[in-house]
Chain A
Amino acid sequence: MEDANIVDLYWKREEAAIRQTAEKYGYKLRMLAFGITDDLQTAEECENDTYLEAWNSIPPHEPRQYLYAFLARITRHLALNCCRNRSRLKRSALICELSNELEQCIPAPEDTECRIDSIVFAEAINVFLATLSTEKRNVFLRRYWYFDSIAAIASRFALSESKVKTMLFRTRNQLKQYLEKEGYYL
């Protein structure tokens, strides 16, 4: 079923919307959550919570053109919350690793408070992503949005692992330079 039709079902408050969503995107959402939490049951829980969140958010939202991105964003948020709230998941290593990598992009001393709100941040990061080549942008997002491993990214885009790492390293540096140049202090 087309995304627009699924969104229509949500708007009509038909429970089939959940079933259609699960059939079309359930596997991918579960995989996304599993990649973050590394726990099958928690991933299933995140997937189910995503459907509930989607049910409560559509309407008013109407993600006809980007339903998967809309759902994936919810799943990612829920999975990160699970990792933060449940120390037993032992996923802090992955989160720390990726956080440390991204910390290199932050042009501010460690004790500086956040001076940029979410909307401005979103605008800044989206403008920056628009300056990247498609390949660089996709690699960056696979790593920091989808939490893919270096090996998985290398395999996905037919690149060597060192190439992926170098690409990420440079993109992070570019991002930092961009934020500094544009005067964003995070």
Chain B
Amino acid sequence: MRGKEFLEKLEFIDPVYIEAADSAGHPQEASSIQAVPNKTVQSKTEQNKTKQNRLPSSAILQAYRHPILWGAAAACVCLLLILTLPGILSKQQNQNSIGQPNFSEQNVGQNEANSEQNNNSTSQPNSPNQVAKGEEGESDTDKIHSNDHQDGTEHNLDNSSDGPAPTWDFTYNEADAITSSDAARRYIPGYFTQELGEQELLAIGPGKQIGWMNFSGFAGFDGEGKVLEVHLTTTSTLPDTPIQISFSEEPIFSCGLLSEEEAVSSYCNGVDFLVFQYIQKNVPPSTLSLYAEAEINGLFYLFQMEAPLEQAEQAKTDFEALLECFTVYQAGSEELASLTPVEIPEWFDRTLTWQEARNEADFGAWFLPTVPDSFQEEGIHRFKDQNLNYLSGLWTKGYDSLRWKVHAYDDSDAARLTDIADTQNYDLSLYPIPRAESVPEELREIVDNPVFEAEELTLEIVYARAYKPVDHGDSDGWRMNFSVRYGDIVVEVQAKGLSPEWIYKQLMELWDK
């Protein structure tokens, strides 16, 4: 038995348990918000409420649950105060003497004096946390820029000065498994993305940058133009080994499966990171994946990097440097909110009647000319957002159904456009069921849904797409699915229980126009 079969067979679980799991917990706070389509995005008030209810990190949770750790925590706080107090005082002095940091590399010369002054003022011994603030401790060869987002003034710190190496250590927890972070994405009406420009990257980038960092990225917005998340990518010192950073006001789905007892947080510049690694050795080449999660200034961050295992040391060096740079990020959610889209792509999801659909300006002329007898209309939608733009209808009769979808011809259709001479691309009689075993992998997409030129479509081709499976308990009529191209328009047909002649007639009516 494979995992997929195991997953499917779980349907035999006792209904009592299923009902209990359905009513347990607080579904309103969970699935209805995250998974329900056509629900409006949470209001600001709701988001604030969610934030207030946000759980502490797992490490803190453990502490709560083990009272014996309270004593240790208190001792740590005292120790921390003793260590950091001189540092904080010293830093205040530094800030007075440094002025505002500079983000621009061109201003190196102008600020050399400042840097010198900075180095002089930080020459006294520092506590670990003070060092961690980034004034000292980076590689001599790295040029470090600091960006204080508070007033936009810039200052460059050329840290060629000697100083102790960073005294913090990132502890890499071992992840038992890595899961896909996309799995938890919820449906967001009107969601769209926009590439970030140079100024925007400066505004939301880390408070410090090292010479090898070169950022690009995009922001994701809801249908009203409110920014929801940012995805950044930066180069590292390793070729073709970027580091990805995602952050959002809402918690980001964690993709590492950690053993709770062993999960250790790493503390750097006042930020708690949960850092973990996953080594993949099953499929060559072996790779090392590095991850870090943190909440910084009210934003939730996820850092990811994947590198060849033999370059693990350098990858970790780069990764840690990047984490450190983001701890100097000052602005938090206010900066995120300042991201505004150049334009909000048009989006809507309208329910239409069949007559309205036929009269629809963009795609109505290619919509189903005649509703099949006895079929009941389930829904006709005109949908448009940044990525999708279609008119679609669904009719059913018992187990029989007809889906008719009209959209503009695009690249994905072009990849499935087939010549009628290439029967291997569409003739289902060549591929016995189960087709997962009979259709070659390289033809799977096109055999699944080929696109024919309307002028080439014949009844024989429709029959080549039609089949009657032995499926006890289900409708025994013809089943078929394929697409037809009418110039810049594509009609996609999925039918069960309708004859090839009827489908062909409908498609020809569109062509005759």
Contact = CB atoms under 8 A, between A and B. Distances in A.
B1 interface: yes
Interface of B: 1-22, 24-27, 29-32, 34-38, 55-58, 61, 176-177, 179-180, 182-184, 187, 251, 253-254, 256-260, 263, 274, 378-379, 381, 392, 394, 396, 398-399, 401, 403, 444-445, 448-449, 473
A143 to B, nearest CB: 10
Contacts of A35: 31, 35
Interface string A59-77: 0000101101110110011
Q: Which 5 A-B pairs have the closest CB atoms?
A: A69-B15, A99-B3, A103-B3, A122-B12, A149-B184
Contacts of A142: 21, 24-25
B13 A125 contact: yes
Given A43-B37, A73-B18, A150-B253, A138 B25 contact: yes
Contacts of B381: 41
Interface in A19-54: 28, 31, 34-35, 38, 40-41, 43-45, 48-49, 52
B10 A125 contact: yes
A52 B182 CA distance: 32
Contacts of B274: 162
A116 B1 CA distance: 9
Contact of B4 (A99, A137, A156): A99
Given A45-B401, A103-B2, A138-B20, A70 B13 contact: no
A8 interface: no
Interface in A98-150: 98-103, 105-106, 108, 110, 114, 116, 118-119, 121-122, 125-126, 129, 134, 137-138, 141-142, 144-146, 148-150
A41 B394 contact: yes
Given A31-B31, A137-B21, 5 more contacts: A87-B444, A106-B2, A141-B13, A149-B253, A169-B176
A56 B56 CA distance: 49
B15 A70 contact: yes
Given A40-B38, A63-B15, A156 B31 contact: yes
Contact of B3 (A49, A68, A106): A106
A145 B18 contact: yes
A168 B177 CA distance: 12
B57 A102 contact: no
A141 B21 contact: yes
Contact of A166 (B18, B24, B29, B258): B258
Instruction: Indicate the member of B3, B36, B260, B401 with the most A CB atoms within 10 Å.
Output: B3
A88 B448 contact: yes
A102 to B, nearest CB: 4
Interface class of chain A by DSSP: helix
B425 to A, nearest CB: 16
Interface of A: 28, 31, 34-35, 38, 40-41, 43-45, 48-49, 52, 56, 63, 65-66, 68-70, 72-73, 76-77, 80, 87-88, 93-103, 105-106, 108, 110, 114, 116, 118-119, 121-122, 125-126, 129, 134, 137-138, 141-142, 144-146, 148-163, 165-166, 168-169, 186
Nearest to A184: B1
19 contacts: A31-B35, A35-B35, A40-B38, A44-B378, A68-B18, A72-B18, A73-B15, A93-B182, A94-B180, A98-B3, A110-B2, A122-B9, A144-B7, A152-B30, A153-B30, A156-B26, A160-B57, A161-B253, A162-B263
Given A69-B15, A156-B27, A151 B258 contact: no
A161 B17 CA distance: 22
Contacts of A108: 1
B58 A162 contact: yes
A106 B12 CA distance: 17
A122 B37 CA distance: 33
Contacts of A121: 9, 12
A97 B180 contact: yes
A129 B399 CA distance: 35
